[in-house]
């Protein structure tokens, strides 16, 4: 069967069952015009004009039927029918193509955020460190006060009891510098007092000589005789040693 484009007149040769009984949307391959074709249209399409038999008076120019058929066949072969162009369905090709509508781009939705595990873990670590510092400050408060006496006031403000154990011995001493035949000497004398409520072994003392910059230049040990010292008892001690020219000060300390 043949279809003729109503816009440009181009003919198409299609299979007999290509249109179907209900019609089909087709498009002209030459001009792009689309229309819905029906079987009746194919039946009603005008056929190629056929040569009219010449009049009786023109017997000299008579054309044979075989020549007419050959001419029609040659024209058909010279202009093959373009293929039928359709959409995916019978009504898939729109009749009117509307102008494109400009739409404002919609903002993208914010990204979904899950639980903030990093922030939560950071806070947990912070509280763990604070709890560790507070616990250590409570449990080792006596050692902290012994090393840093200034923290005693802080513990008092917080109402935390601290065992402030005083020194076991108190030293009361004096010095005397003399010049002898062997040179300048320093004499140290004084008392060692037991400041506890129990008898303690007699301690050992150390004499340290210092220069003007506070650096140690000499030292020696001093034994306190007499055995254990009773509570509150004051035990005398005395020692003597050389006094170098570089010496500027002297100190007596407990070794035990």
Share of the chain above pLDDT 70, in %: 68
Classify strands 183-194 and 11-13 as parallel, antiparallel or unpaired.
Answer: unpaired
Judged by average pLDDT, the poorest of 22-26, 52-56, 84-88, 249-253 is 84-88
Degrees, nearest 5: CA angle 115-116-117:
95
Question: Does residue 30 carry a pLDDT above 90?
Answer: no
Domain boundaries defined on the chain: 2-78, 118-158, 169-254
pLDDT of residue 84: 46
Among the four given CATH numbers 1.10.760.10, 2.60.40.10, 2.30.40.10, 3.40.720.10, the one describing domain 169-254: 2.60.40.10
Dihedral (Cα; 225, 228, 232, 238), 10-degree rounding? 10
Instruction: Please list, residue by residue across 189-206, b when 16 or more beta carbons sit within 10 angstroms of its beta carbon and e when fewer do.
Output: ebebbbeeeeebebbebe
**CA 99 to CA 92: how far, in whole Å?**
18
Predicted TM-score (pTM) of this structure: 0.38
């Amino acid at each position: 069967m043949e279809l003729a484009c109503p816009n440009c007149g181009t003919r198409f040769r299609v299979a007999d069952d290509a249109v179907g009984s209900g019609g089909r949307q087709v498009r002209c391959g030459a001009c792009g015009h689309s229309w819905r074709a029906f079987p009746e249209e194919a039946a009603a399409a005008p056929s190629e004009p056929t040569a009219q038999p010449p009049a009786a008076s023109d017997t000299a120019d008579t054309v044979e039927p075989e020549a007419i058929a050959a001419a029609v066949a040659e024209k058909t072969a010279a202009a093959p029918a373009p293929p039928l162009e359709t959409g995916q369905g019978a009504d898939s090709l729109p009749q009117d193509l509307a102008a494109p509508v400009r739409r404002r781009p919609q903002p993208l939705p914010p990204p979904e955020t899950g639980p903030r595990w990093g922030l939560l873990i950071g806070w947990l670590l912070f509280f763990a460190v604070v709890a560790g510092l507070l616990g250590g400050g409570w449990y080792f408060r006596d050692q902290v006060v012994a090393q840093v006496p200034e923290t005693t006031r802080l513990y008092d403000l917080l109402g935390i009891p601290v065992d402030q154990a005083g020194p076991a011995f108190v030293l009361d001493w004096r010095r005397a510098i003399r010049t002898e035949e062997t040179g300048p000497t320093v004499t140290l004398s004084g008392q060692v007092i037991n400041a506890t409520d129990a008898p303690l072994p007699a301690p050992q003392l150390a004499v340290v000589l210092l220069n003007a910059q506070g650096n140690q230049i000499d030292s020696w040990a001093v034994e306190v005789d007499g055995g254990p010292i009773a509570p509150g008892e004051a035990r005398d001690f005395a020692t003597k040693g050389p006094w170098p020219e570089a010496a500027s000060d002297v100190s007596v300390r407990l070794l035990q």
